[in-house]
């Protein structure tokens, strides 16, 4: 027992040393961008002038994104006034007032979904009343709500996510949305993938939740969850048409568009946020899979962040 206690104490000490070293490195990186980084055991604060962003310690691996794209994350919601500082607090799940979206406050598991990216989706999607939309990687459900506002009661939006903390946020937001508008949005729990055998998934209650084979086993809680191909998902939902897909699935895009039968049958417009998987951007694989079905793909810059978007035009519209 004494050996066990000593080993546990030693591991705790090593972990404390690693955290302190990481904090020092982080502060140096932030200083180069004229951002002040302060740390506590529970959260990290990034301050630029009189503006601050707070993130949970468990989401420390987003620190460089916050530093490199400070304005993108800060400007997406209305900050709180704390003494003489304007604070955007992403350290716990909570409601935020989203800049550019006045219908209702939105509950986020952690980071917000900036409207600037959604506007890029909409500029490409060309949504009309009656359209059917798949929102793959729905996160908080905000984009699904905006899609639903455009396709109307005669249209259909399916919000899919594989992180249970995100699903809780989606349900909260859809409940409030229905109370305000009477509109329903369908929710599907699970991961979109290239098989239906189930998948080990890392749930972190944030935007980066993904399959453990993509992000590893140490960022979140790892669980076996249902997985679906695009064809299987469409069959389960009894979809006669699919007009548009928003795909932000943290690397899974590298495999899901291998489903040629789905693409040939439905021919939807697709917009994809590309990611890095094992150091390689997924854009080339997505383009190769979609080109086989006659799609024309265009890589564009995503406002505010380094990850690109891929606009994918089906053959019927080219």
Top pLDDT among 7 and 140 is at: 140
What's the rounded Cα separation, in Å, for the pair 312 and 222?
32
Q: What's the confidence (pLDDT) of residue 207?
A: 72
pLDDT band for position 221 (cuts 50, 70, 90): confident
Top pLDDT among 61 and 11 is at: 61
Q: What's the confidence (pLDDT) of residue 300?
A: 96
Q: Which CATH superfamily is domain 113-317 in?
A: Vaccinia Virus protein VP39 (3.40.50.150)
- Tens of pLDDT, residue by residue over 253-310, are 999 999 999 999 999 999 999 999 888 999 999 999 999 999 999 999 999 888 999 9
| Bridging pattern class, strands 309-313 and 269-273 | antiparallel
175: CB partners within 8 A, 6+ apart: none
Q: What's the confidence (pLDDT) of residue 11?
A: 45
Tokens, residue 105: 């406050």
Q: What's the confidence (pLDDT) of residue 258?
A: 96
Average pLDDT, the chain: 89
What's the rounded Cα separation, in Å, for the pair 318 and 313?
7
Does residue 240 register a pLDDT over 80? yes
Top pLDDT among 60 and 50 is at: 50
Does residue 18 register a pLDDT over 50? no
Q: What's the confidence (pLDDT) of residue 9?
A: 45
Burial pattern 235-253, b for ≥16 Cβ within 10 A else e, equals eebeeeebbbbbbbbbbbb
Does residue 123 register a pLDDT over 90? yes
User: How buried is 262 (Cβ within 10 angstroms: 0-12 exposed, 13-18 middle, 19+ buried)?
Assistant: buried
Q: Enter the pTM of the model.
A: 0.90
Domain extent listing, the chain: 32-92, 113-317
The CB-based long-range contact list for 210-217 (8 Å cut-off, 24+ gap) reads 210/249, 210/250, 210/251, 210/252, 211/251, 211/252, 214/250, 214/251, 214/252, 214/277, 215/250, 215/251
Number of Cβ atoms within 10 Å of the Cβ of 195: 11
Number of Cβ atoms within 10 Å of the Cβ of 18: 10
Angstrom distances, CA of residue 286 to CA of 48, 217, 218, 242, 283: 37, 25, 27, 19, 5
- Tens of pLDDT, residue by residue over 99-114, are 999 999 999 999 999 9
Top pLDDT among 257 and 210 is at: 257
242 — phi, psi (to 5°)?
Answer: -140, 115
Q: What's the confidence (pLDDT) of residue 6?
A: 47
Top pLDDT among 196 and 218 is at: 196
Does residue 23 register a pLDDT over 70? no
What's the rounded Cα separation, in Å, for the pair 255 and 229?
10
- Tens of pLDDT, residue by residue over 135-171, are 999 999 999 999 999 999 999 999 999 999 999 999 9
């Amino acid at each position: 027992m004494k050996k066990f206690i000593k080993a546990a104490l030693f591991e705790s000490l090593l972990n404390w040393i690693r955290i302190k070293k990481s904090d020092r490195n982080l502060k140096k990186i932030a200083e180069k961008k004229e951002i002040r980084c302060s740390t506590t055991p529970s959260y990290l604060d990034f301050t630029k002038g009189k503006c601050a962003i707070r993130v949970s310690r468990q989401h420390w691996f987003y620190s460089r994104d916050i530093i490199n794209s400070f304005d993108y994350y800060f400007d997406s919601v209305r900050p709180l006034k704390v003494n003489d500082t304007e604070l955007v607090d992403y350290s716990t799940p909570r409601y935020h007032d989203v800049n550019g979206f006045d219908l209702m406050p939105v509950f986020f598991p952690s980071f917000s979904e900036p409207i600037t990216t959604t506007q890029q989706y909409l500029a490409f999607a060309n949504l009309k009343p009656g359209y059917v939309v798949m929102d793959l990687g729905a996160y908080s459900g905000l984009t699904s709500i905006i899609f639903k506002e455009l396709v109307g009661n005669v249209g259909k939006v399916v919000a899919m996510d594989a992180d249970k903390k995100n699903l809780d946020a989606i349900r909260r937001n859809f409940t409030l949305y229905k109370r305000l508008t009477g509109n329903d949005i369908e929710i599907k729990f699970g991961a979109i993938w290239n098989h239906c055998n189930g998948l080990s998934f890392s749930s972190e209650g944030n935007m980066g939740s993904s399959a453990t084979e993509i992000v590893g086993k140490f960022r979140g809680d790892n669980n076996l969850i249902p997985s679906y191909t695009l064809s299987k998902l469409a069959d389960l939902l009894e979809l006669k048409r699919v007009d548009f897909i928003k795909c932000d699935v943290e690397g899974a895009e590298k495999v899901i568009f291998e489903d040629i039968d789905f693409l040939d049958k439905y021919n939807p417009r697709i917009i994809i946020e590309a990611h890095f998987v094992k150091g390689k951007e997924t854009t080339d694989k997505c383009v190769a899979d979609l080109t086989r079905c006659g799609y024309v793909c265009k890589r564009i810059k995503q406002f505010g962040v380094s990850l690109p978007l891929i606009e994918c035009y089906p053959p019927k519209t080219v």
